[in-house]
Structure 1
Amino acid sequence: MLANSLRASRQSLARAIRTTPLRRTLITPTAIRSADLVQDMYLKELKAYKPVPAKASDAEGVVQKFSMPKTPASPEEADIQNDLQAYEQQVPEVEGQAPSGGQAAVEQDWFEEPEEDDEVAHH
């Protein structure tokens, strides 16, 4: 009896395959699609968000008014006439000539070691 039922089911299956054309179907598991509830909620809220339009008065009190700073006075032009006169009145110093004070400056040799007394050096 079992054998007869298996034959009958095979025959009916073979007939069903011959009569229906073959099609490709994509089977997607629904568990994966519904598992991402957080992303779905986030996208729904993101689409529903309406930003508040900005007004021109929103910046008052937060942003300072811009004003151009005053141009500073040039330090070169401050007292150029007096500086020029002082420069012209200077006497140039020439090496080898005595300064206008009258006495020649005494040169010192800084690299010369002082002489030591013989007595202090031997003790």
Structure 2
Amino acid sequence: MSSAILRQASAVARAASRSCAFSTSAVARKDLVQELYLKELKSYKPPPQPQDAHVGVVKNFQHPPAPQPPTLPTDLASELSAYDAAEPTLAASAKPAESEESGPTGAESFLAFLEADEPKAEAHH
């Protein structure tokens, strides 16, 4: 009878040790990593930033000068009549200067080029 009790006790001990080993080892590993992470996270303190860290990086804001309102001429009627009486002027480069080498340009020269006979290629013997 004592051998039966010993076998039964050893079986119970093995079963208990197996169940405890599997259940506690996974939990213990998870808790160990989690605890280390939380401990490091709680103990982290960022380096202190100096109070004048922005000096030299940020410029002081200055408002731009206020624009001046346009001034109207004192004698507006005489300036308008002088403007109406003035002849309109064309741009200085309204008629481009023709170069001596290029000859006439424009539609007439293009049509003349199209109507001209093309020189025939000479046959090589």
Task: Judge same fold: TM > 0.5, yes or no.
Answer: no
Q: What interval of TM-score do these two structures reach, taking the shorter chain for normalisation?
A: 0.3 to 0.5
Which of structures 1 and 2 has the bigger CA Rg? 1
Q: TM-score, normalised by structure 1?
A: 0.36
